[in-house]
Amino acid sequence: MEIGEILDGYRIDARVAESGMASIFRATRIEDGAQAAIKLPHAAMEADPLLFDRFRREEEIGVALDHPNVMRIFPNPHRSRVYIAMEWVPGELLRQILAEERKLPPERAIRIALGILRALDYIHSRGVAHRDLKPENIMVGEHDAIKLIDFGIASKEGAKRLTYAAFTPALGTPDYIAPEQVKGKRGDARSDLYSLGIMLYEMLTGRTPFSGPSPLAVMNDRLINHPLPPREANPEISPQMQEVIYRALERDPRNRYPTARAFASDLENLDKVGAAEREELRNWKKRKSGRLRRILYYVALAMIPFALFAAMLILSRHGR
């Protein structure tokens, strides 16, 4: 797209963002002068059936959502090419705010987290899981009003699962991905709550809880080690707030908050949150090695071709 070009009633004003799959443009709707965002997939994405299906799924999910904390997507059945038209959301990405301020006062972190939880409560009630919750996908506006954006890898209950041939960034972001997603599971509403737990930890401490020299090492760290306790990183964090973070970061989804509303209730009533005696507080300094897990991971990858060959052999014999 060229700046100044007209696309189905939208004038393209500026390119504002770029990702591996699409470009985002600020545009003006000629009919009424309203600003909009246009998400245009790269040519390579349009040529890949799986990625193209993912792009169409994002639009399908977004058009059905209508909430003040969720960016709206406008239906457009008569467009001349593939793109998504969305509301223009003024403000700053949470990532920009964290880059400038490093960590936030507890009151502000809670305010932003509650806005995110309102958005999650809404989308989860409609069978949608975002699955890529991170500061880059949270727009913060005036008075810390938030908008949840980018449903590029969201899932919808009852919808066909879109499978990728390899682990790619399209399956989540290493710093924020939930343990069950690391293990190859689809991820659901509680995966979003885990990701928000990571973001709350980061907003309050200025760092993410798990680290490593590579994305694989970061993901492995969350499976075998406990993070630095939040109060060790920032003494301003209360024991009750620390407990809320730990409840969100439970490795087993069954032990996390059951809903966004339950998570929000604790944030709104911290004085009623009991701080438990946790293993995470006693054993966080004991660091386990991920070497064995990595070996098993690569062995499993090496076995995939043999498993596929065996399956094909069984099917061929069965068809005789």
What residues are annotated to the active site?
A: 132
Return d(Cα 203, Cα 54) in angstroms, integer. Answer: 30
Assigned token pair, 124: 């989860």
Q: Are the C-beta atoms of residues 171 and 164 closer than 8 Å to each other?
A: yes
Q: Are the C-beta atoms of residues 12 and 39 closer than 8 Å to each other?
A: no
Angle between helices 260-268 and 189-205 (to 10 degrees): 30
* Tokens 């239906």 -> residue: 75
The set of residues, in sequence order, having a beta carbon less than 8 Å from that of 235 and lying 6+ positions away, is: none
Return d(Cα 158, Cα 70) in angstroms, integer. Answer: 21
Q: Are the C-beta atoms of residues 270 and 241 closer than 8 Å to each other?
A: yes
Return d(Cα 32, Cα 239) in angstroms, integer. Answer: 52
